């Protein structure tokens, strides 16, 4: 119910996902009076169970207010379904701060995790087409121990979400030289390097902003403040490039002709940088899996978020993540891509 575009878009996204995932079923949380006609229109009654929840968390609601007054909301109901093991993953287009607050209170943090993180997929030059970056906004603070946990969680996500046997981890900094950066970054550098062998990942050291979309690294570790600024900057830049290309190709008759000749290449470029394809940040470090979709996502974007949720659920991601975090406490485990 928290989508900027209303519940119809979410149901359309479910329909797209249902068509390509015949073994997946859905619990749809919200006002039954609004959802039932939408589900019936899409003929999804045999795939969707509606959990009636009368209240809705708005984008303007403060997390503290939702924590006090949100028990009857669709967001609370969705997280509760994961807590009660009725669902394996929760997917929400709603208020990020409120979703994280409810998730932390109801699902609780994994043992050994101080600060949960939000991880996103970033288009890159790697064969998979993506890199993982975290944290991108769960918490603006992160000390050296938090950054180590992010590295462990990011490696587990890359291993189980992207199928990488031995992910390459980079720590975001203002330069690649070991003497650069804040004190906690230097300590985190040594901690991550020390744990790389036992945690089965390769640590490439410090990386810079230009490395985020590169093929030098698979996982970029940073604090939530820096990660969120980078994420919003990247999204804004992609939108600017799209608009400038459209403006350039509409400039004259010749440029319009050139656009027709280059149509195939332009479509490939558009698909490669389309943010809908990587819609879905995942909350890492909780006793349950939560995928956060953009509030403005269309049906294609919602379907992409569900695809990520399905991939993680099929690979028992959260159990593997918990084992990986525990390994940093001195209990070695074996974890391999499913």
Residue 334 confidence (pLDDT) above 60? no
- Report the C-alpha gap between 56 and 74 in whole angstroms: 6
Q: What is the mean pLDDT of residues 36-40?
A: 95
- Report the C-alpha gap between 302 and 295 in whole angstroms: 9
CA distances from 68 to 64, 79, 81, 92, 202 (A): 6, 16, 19, 20, 44
Residue 180 confidence (pLDDT) above 70? yes
Residue 195 confidence (pLDDT) above 60? yes
Query: Please, how many CA atoms are within 13 Å of residue 211, restricted to the half-sphere of its CB?
Result: 22
Between 259 and 250, the higher pLDDT residue: 250
pTM: 0.81
Q: What is the mean pLDDT of residues 123-147?
A: 88
Confidence of residue 18 (pLDDT cuts 50, 70, 90): very high
The torsion of the CA quartet 154, 159, 164, 167, rounded to 10 degrees, works out to 30
Between 60 and 259, the higher pLDDT residue: 60
Region class of 76: left (phi > 0), else alpha (psi between -120 and 50), else beta:
alpha
Residue 49 confidence (pLDDT) above 60? yes
Supply the mean pLDDT for the chain: 87
pLDDT at 271: 63
Third-level CATH fold of 117-277+320-327: Isopropylmalate Dehydrogenase (3.40.718)
pLDDT at 90: 95
> Could you tell me if 133 and 120 are in contact, meaning their C-beta atoms sit under 8 angstroms apart?
yes
Q: Convert 118-145 into a string of H (helix), E (strand) and C (coil).
A: EEEEEECCCCCCEEEEECCCCCCCCCHH
């Amino acid at each position: 119910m928290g989508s900027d575009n209303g519940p119809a878009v979410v149901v359309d996204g479910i329909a797209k996902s249902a068509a390509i995932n015949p073994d997946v079923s859905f619990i749809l949380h919200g006002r039954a009076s609004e959802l039932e006609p939408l589900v019936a229109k899409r003929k999804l009654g045999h795939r969707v169970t509606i959990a009636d929840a009368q209240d809705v968390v708005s984008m303007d609601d403060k997390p503290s207010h939702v924590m006090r007054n949100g028990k009857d909301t669709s967001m609370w109901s969705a997280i509760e379904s994961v807590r009660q093991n009725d669902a394996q993953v929760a997917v929400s287009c709603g208020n990020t701060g409120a979703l994280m607050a409810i998730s932390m209170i109801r699902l609780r943090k994994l043992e050994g995790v101080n600060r949960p993180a939000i991880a996103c997929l970033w288009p890159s030059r790697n064969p998979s087409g993506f890199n993982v970056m975290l944290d991108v906004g769960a918490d603006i603070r992160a000390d050296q121990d938090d950054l180590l946990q992010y590295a462990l969680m990011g490696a587990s996500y890359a291993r189980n979400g992207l199928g990488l046997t031995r992910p390459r981890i980079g720590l975001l900094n203002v330069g690649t030289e070991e003497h650069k950066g804040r004190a906690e970054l230097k300590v985190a550098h040594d901690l991550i390097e020390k744990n790389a062998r036992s945690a089965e990942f390769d640590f490439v050291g410090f990386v810079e902003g230009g490395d985020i979309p590169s093929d030098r690294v698979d996982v970029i570790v940073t604090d939530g403040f820096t990660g969120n600024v980078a994420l919003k900057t990247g999204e804004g830049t992609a939108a600017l490039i799209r608009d400038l290309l459209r403006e350039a190709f509409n400039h004259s008759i010749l440029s319009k002709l050139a656009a027709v000749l280059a149509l195939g290449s332009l479509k490939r470029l558009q698909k490669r940088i389309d943010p809908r394809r990587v819609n879905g940040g995942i909350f890492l470090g909780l006793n349950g899996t939560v995928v956060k979709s953009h509030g403005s996502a269309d049906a294609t974007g919602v379907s992409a978020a569900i695809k990520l949720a399905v991939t993680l659920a099929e690979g028992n991601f959260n159990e593997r993540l918990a084992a990986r975090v525990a390994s940093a406490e001195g209990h070695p485990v074996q974890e391999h891509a499913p």
